[in-house]
A and B are shown apart, each in its own frame.
Chain A
């Protein structure tokens, strides 16, 4: 069952065919999404009406392209804003968490660590409603106590950011902790020995060492936020991020416009992923 063990030819062929079939299964839905982005028809399905790039660049009805569709563009902007906030916040907190768990021994550390992992095993939709319930409890409390209406605590971008942040931080923490564990503490001691103080040592030695993991975590957090659906769905207000906007349109019936958006999303995220992989290989 490894190449050095002789196996009947038929077994090898069947196994190879199965793996090939698996990759066809993986590629199939994405391929059809991409191909039908160029269908010159109102529907992303057969029959094939000919090739067009109108779903990207078209300016007139009925084929308004992605780049002229205000609603979609605004949703992309919203998603990018949310994703940037989430990435920065979660990697920031992820880094402090990593240092806390790596550098300090304290009572309840094991318990806190398990608690830190919990967001990964809470269904996203439950995370969403719990934050929704709590924020409106706070908002209602404030209104009753002081008649202040805090709009930020009602469904909207702040809650979306907080909701995504609440579980993406766990992933950022894991990624950065893994890297920090590989760090050779004597390097920091050497810096101290050469006259740096504790903070300078961390800034000049440890953080540069962590940088690849932090950048990796930023990209992963950005992508996870960009494509998050479950948690966002429960917390969204009037400004819909892209996945929600697309979901709403899909419910009303799809046009190849959605394929075009999807194709751009695929290209964008593959590009980001590729950059991260290349970046990490160089290090």
Chain B
């Protein structure tokens, strides 16, 4: 099947600065595709190039197989939900939603019917005559999407549209956006710096850094099988050590960190040899904590240390454990109740399997 959106070797330079650096990706029809990255990584630049507000320095953008580089923004079969939504304040809700249809010269009655249908679809029937300012944040969000969806675009672009909402509403809108995408069955390209938004909603996520895509995959791929140190550090939390490879045994590694801690790790298919400098990432949630060493017999990394701090955060509570060499390790506390009375200074054992120690060669 032809992908809905294809970016080939897409590059954009601003003077000396390369904002988007030879990026390649394609998005299959009906996919919720997210581009996730820190601010300034170039994700907005990609989106504006797809929408037609910026010209690529080189490369091609194809929608349903046809290049759109020579198509002005008002003729492209993509629509965009802007960061601050950009609803037209001088128009009513119905006029906002009908705007694009009027541009196509559709008959008035037909427009009215389509607008009502769209309002029905987003669960806000009968608000057509209201002003933009009379809507709540979540309602505006839905109107902004409906305004694009009535045009039945091949691809809908969303530029961090949840950024302005408060936390509770944002959580709610994540679910709703996903549902809307399923209902409209349209390809969504969503950009965000919030990994939870990307992980919850997306079928495919591209992690972007410094103008390049680090890795493209499902949320599970990125979380469990990061391919670059940036992804390992950016998605989820991780304990992070620098060290050196002492010995390799197939995929397994024997490592020593800079502070002298010995541990086992895994190369996960990456070519690493004894003597290579590496960075090791271990997620706090893959480390088990126990009162005595016997309970951790199954793990190949076991340490003893004292609790130096408790970071209570409900379900995501953690303990900081300092081992006798002075290395600090962040460990997620299980919520089964056995550690609810853990205090600073308590002696504990921690352990994790070598396969969880994700090692990457340090290039610099």
The answer to whether A binds B is yes
* Chain A interface residues (CB < 8 Å from chain B): 4-6
Of B52-60, B115-123, B294-302, the one contacting chain A is: B52-60
Q: Which A residues touch B54, using CB under 8 A?
A: 4
Q: How far, in whole Å, are A4 and B72 apart by their CA atoms in the complex?
A: 11
CB distance from A6 to the nearest CB of B (A): 6
Mask, B32-75, CB within 8 Å of A = 1, is 00000000000000001000111100000000000000001100
Chain B: CB-nearest residue to A3: B53
Q: Which B residues touch A6, using CB under 8 A?
A: 52, 55, 72-73
Chain A: CB-nearest residue to B52: A6
Q: Which A residues touch B55, using CB under 8 A?
A: 6
Q: How far, in whole Å, are A38 and B72 apart by their CA atoms in the complex?
A: 54
Q: How far, in whole Å, are A4 and B80 apart by their CA atoms in the complex?
A: 15
CB distance from B14 to the nearest CB of A (A): 13
Q: Which B residues touch A5, using CB under 8 A?
A: 53, 72-73
Question: From DSSP, what is the main secondary structure of chain A's interface residues?
Answer: loop
Shortest 8 CB-CB distances between A and B: which pairs?
A: A4-B53, A6-B72, A5-B73, A4-B54, A5-B53, A6-B55, A6-B52, A4-B48
Q: How far, in whole Å, are A67 and B52 apart by their CA atoms in the complex?
A: 63
CB distance from A2 to the nearest CB of B (A): 9
Q: How far, in whole Å, are A5 and B53 apart by their CA atoms in the complex?
A: 6
Given contacts A4-B48, A5-B72, A6-B55, 7 further A-B contacts (CB under 8 A): A4-B53, A4-B54, A5-B53, A5-B73, A6-B52, A6-B72, A6-B73
Q: Which A residues touch B52, using CB under 8 A?
A: 6
10 A-B residue contacts at CB 8 Å? A4-B48, A4-B53, A4-B54, A5-B53, A5-B72, A5-B73, A6-B52, A6-B55, A6-B72, A6-B73
Chain A: CB-nearest residue to B55: A6
CB distance from A244 to the nearest CB of B (A): 46
Chain B: CB-nearest residue to A4: B53
Q: Which B residues touch A4, using CB under 8 A?
A: 48, 53-54
Chain A: CB-nearest residue to B72: A6
Q: How far, in whole Å, are A6 and B71 apart by their CA atoms in the complex?
A: 10
Q: How far, in whole Å, are A109 and B73 apart by their CA atoms in the complex?
A: 50
Q: How far, in whole Å, are A156 and B55 apart by their CA atoms in the complex?
A: 67
Q: How far, in whole Å, are A5 and B54 apart by their CA atoms in the complex?
A: 8
Q: How far, in whole Å, are A5 and B74 apart by their CA atoms in the complex?
A: 9
Q: How far, in whole Å, are A6 and B48 apart by their CA atoms in the complex?
A: 12
Q: How far, in whole Å, are A39 and B72 apart by their CA atoms in the complex?
A: 55
Mask, B73-114, CB within 8 Å of A = 1, is 100000000000000000000000000000000000000000
Q: How far, in whole Å, are A6 and B54 apart by their CA atoms in the complex?
A: 8
Q: How far, in whole Å, are A4 and B47 apart by their CA atoms in the complex?
A: 13
Q: Which A residues touch B72, using CB under 8 A?
A: 5-6
Q: How far, in whole Å, are A275 and B54 apart by their CA atoms in the complex?
A: 40
Q: How far, in whole Å, are A6 and B68 apart by their CA atoms in the complex?
A: 13
Q: How far, in whole Å, are A4 and B53 apart by their CA atoms in the complex?
A: 5
Q: How far, in whole Å, are A4 and B73 apart by their CA atoms in the complex?
A: 10
CB distance from A201 to the nearest CB of B (A): 36
Q: How far, in whole Å, are A4 and B52 apart by their CA atoms in the complex?
A: 8
Q: How far, in whole Å, are A111 and B53 apart by their CA atoms in the complex?
A: 48
Q: How far, in whole Å, are A6 and B49 apart by their CA atoms in the complex?
A: 12
Q: Which A residues touch B73, using CB under 8 A?
A: 5-6
CB distance from B56 to the nearest CB of A (A): 12
Q: How far, in whole Å, are A177 and B53 apart by their CA atoms in the complex?
A: 41
Q: How far, in whole Å, are A52 and B266 apart by their CA atoms in the complex?
A: 90
CB distance from A130 to the nearest CB of B (A): 40
CB distance from B89 to the nearest CB of A (A): 17
Q: How far, in whole Å, are A6 and B73 apart by their CA atoms in the complex?
A: 8
Q: How far, in whole Å, are A67 and B320 apart by their CA atoms in the complex?
A: 84
CB distance from B52 to the nearest CB of A (A): 7
Q: How far, in whole Å, are A73 and B52 apart by their CA atoms in the complex?
A: 63
Chain A: CB-nearest residue to B51: A4
CB distance from A12 to the nearest CB of B (A): 14
Chain A: CB-nearest residue to B73: A5
Q: How far, in whole Å, are A162 and B53 apart by their CA atoms in the complex?
A: 56
Q: How far, in whole Å, are A4 and B54 apart by their CA atoms in the complex?
A: 6
Q: How far, in whole Å, are A43 and B72 apart by their CA atoms in the complex?
A: 57
CB distance from B49 to the nearest CB of A (A): 11
Q: How far, in whole Å, are A5 and B52 apart by their CA atoms in the complex?
A: 8
Which residue among B48, B53, B55 has the maximum number of chain A CB atoms within 10 Å of its CB? B53
CB distance from B71 to the nearest CB of A (A): 10
